Amino acid sequence: MTLSRSDELNMEESDLRPAIALILAGARPGRDAVAEIAGVPIKVLATVGGVPMVARVIKTLESSSLVKERVLCGPSWEIMQGQALLHEMVETKMLRWVAPQQGPSLSVKSFLEQSPQDLPLLVTTADHALLTVEMVEYFLRKASQAQVDVAVALVPYSVVAKAYPQSKRTVIRFKGGGFCGCNLFLLCTSQAERLVEFWTQVEGERKRPLRLIRRLGWFMLVRFLVGGLSLSDALGELSQRMGISMKAIILPFPEAAIDVDTPEDLALVEHIVEQQEKG
């Protein structure tokens, strides 16, 4: 039975439906310094603590009672056939595999078109090597309580900078402070497809906060530049333009904002895991 939008939005926490997790594991076109330094065909196969990053993410999601199924989007089937662990997971139905598209947003769009019933959909990335069950379940519970079409996880930049001052992260600065993305999204209802469509239009600007804010209009851009635009105002404007409800879920975990985009990120993540295992 398909739930209506009102039914989807009025779920109580006690009725929290386990999510399906879509793990984005494709490769962007061009040279990848992380893959090169790690000596692997694709970045997500680089090891952290002796375990490929993608396998760490899969294990975390498998360990959560709030995730009922894991779908791996990428790597290509040719690469998959050379990865015994991943191939076995797919063959034994522990993991569903779907082909990646040209970029994360198009991969999510394609998946929703083929499997519109797979909601709520938790979207994350295979280079999120520090992802933990605690992060996932904190986000899913808070997102469920919010009763919105889309929830996005963010960490205050101050939290990240205090814990890992050496980490270079993309920061969107709003009135009251800056925030870092966490590569964690929950698409709760079918209306979330509107955000995915918007994502496909702005994906190339993901590292350029000013260009993203300009999408909200020049008035919002001016407010942003003079420090007068809050996170809630920005999300409110975006929600209104797309006709959906959105909420930012603020996470208290600095590690949630650290994915692996560069060799320096890989070294930092390796160091963090080493310290965690010692402690």
Q: Tell me the CATH number at 217.
A: 3.90.550.10
Q: What does the pLDDT look like over 231-257, one tens digit per residue?
A: 888 888 888 888 999 999 999 999 999
> Mean pLDDT across the stretch 181-209?
82
Give domain status of residue 1, yes or no: no
- Record the pTM: 0.88
Which distant-in-sequence residues (6+ apart) come within 8 Å of 209 by Cβ? 170, 171, 172, 173
Rounded Cα gap, residues 221 and 223, in angstroms: 5
Q: Which residue has the tokens 């975390």?
A: 60
Say whether pLDDT at 175 is over 80: yes
CA distances from 11 to 18, 64, 74, 164, 248 (A): 12, 20, 32, 37, 18
Identify the pLDDT of residue 209: 60
Rounded Cα gap, residues 139 and 223, in angstroms: 29
Give domain status of residue 262, yes or no: yes
Which ranges in the chain belong to alpha helices (H)? Answer: 5-9, 33-38, 53-62, 77-81, 84-91, 104-114, 133-146, 157-163, 193-202, 209-214, 218-225, 231-242, 263-278
Phi, psi of 219 (to 5 degrees): -60, -45
> Mean pLDDT across the stretch 25-36?
89
Give domain status of residue 3, yes or no: no
Q: Locate 57 and state its tokens.
A: 């993410």
Say whether pLDDT at 27 is over 50: yes
Domain residues for the domain of 65 are 18-278
CA proximity to 8, closest of 165, 119, 89, 86: 119
Model confidence at 214, pLDDT cuts 50, 70, 90, reads low
In contact, 91 and 43? CB cutoff 8 Å: no
Identify the pLDDT of residue 28: 78
Residue 191 DSSP label: G
Identify the pLDDT of residue 233: 84
Give domain status of residue 9, yes or no: no
Number of domains in the chain: 1
Amino acid in position 228: G
Give domain status of residue 5, yes or no: no
Give domain status of residue 90, yes or no: yes
Model confidence at 13, pLDDT cuts 50, 70, 90, reads very low
Identify the pLDDT of residue 12: 46
